[in-house]
Amino acid sequence: MKQQIKLLVLAVAFAGNIPLGFGQQSTKVIEDFKPSTVNQPGKEYPQVNSQGYARFKIDAPAADSVRVSLGLGGRGGTILEKAEDGSWMGTTEGPMDEGFHYYHVNVDGGTFNDPGALNFYGSTRWESGIEIPAHDQEFYALKDVPHGKVEQILFPSKSTNTSRRAFVYTPPGYAQNSNKKYSVLYLQHGWGEDETAWSNQGHANLILDNLIAEGKIEPFIIVMTYGMTNQIKFGGLRNFDITHFQTVMVDELIPYVDKNFRTVADASHRAMAGLSMGGMETKMITLNKPDVFTYYGLLSGGTYAPEDIKDKEDVKLIFLSCGSKERPEAIKAATEKLKEAGYPVASYISEGTAHEFQTWRRSLHEMAPMLFTK
């Protein structure tokens, strides 16, 4: 139990003391605002400008106060001011980090979603989302290339006495190449999220589609399921027990996937990775079950130490990453120790980002070409 608590604290530490994605405050806001790319169809607000500022407009004529609170690692949000027509409008005090952000609206003390924005599951609820255009967004853009398929599956779980849901990405050509078998990446979300996160917020499918089209990776399958993280509340993390999810993953989901999809069903063709608490789960399961996976990825989810791993032969790759606004020194130090001990390790620091999806999109993009190469 002490080891589990240590892992939890280490992973969650990456989320602590991180600014909510605000960059340096600009002296002048450029008035070239455009609707966010993840707005509801036909909705003009929220908007973003070329500097990364976000502007919000909420129709609430009877309200006394309206505030927008942006998600993971916040700085208190943006207070909106009431206009003569009864609407409320405000602009963030500074530019946001590039990429995706959760947020919600506080109206007279009540929490609501922004009617203008699409909803994404995060913070244990469906939250509003906003996308700040990134300078490197082409790697997850929807392009005119062959696309894979993301399908929902329901797999039986005796340990939880129910059917559980997962989403499976199969690469372009999977249906046509009926004799080909594929390696599999089991990819986990973070605390407060669910199995929809990596496709909806992370664009994992588009990242792989583009890498495959560029000839940078051998096609593989991705499986995304709920990590049973959200029963744990902040303040109660010491009660976390990986046993239940480990059983679902190793004894129920993996056999189902191997039976129903054309996989190479051995550890050398199987990877597990996760962001934040999903990285922590990855560490626990890979150490507990070294015969199941040989590729490990912790994305803002802690680190491995040489003494954690019993046999070097069990591991083909350890990938560690985080944002430059998290704790990059911890990633660099762990990487050096693993290298000195002779482990196959690679690391990545996402410049200018914190504990947020742009960090994890970039991390997946960097990690994917390193998987299943040996």
- Res 231: pLDDT: 82
- Res 27: pLDDT: 63
- Res 234: pLDDT: 65
What are the pLDDT digits (tens) for 99-144? 999 999 999 999 999 999 999 999 899 999 999 999 999 999 999 9
Q: Where are the domains of the chain?
A: 34-131, 139-370
- Res 123: pLDDT: 87
- Res 235: pLDDT: 63
- Res 372: pLDDT: 98
- Res 17: pLDDT: 38
Per CATH, the homologous superfamily of domain 139-370 is Alpha/Beta hydrolase fold, catalytic domain (3.40.50.1820)
For residue 46, what are the contacts with CB-CB under 8 A and spacing of at least 6?
35, 36, 39, 54, 55, 56, 57, 114, 116, 117, 130
The percentage of residues in the chain with a pLDDT greater than 90, rounded to a whole number, is 86
Task: Please give the CATH architecture assigned to the domain spanning 34-131.
Answer: Sandwich (2.60)
Residues with pLDDT less than 70, the chain: 1-27, 71-76, 234-237
- Res 240: pLDDT: 84
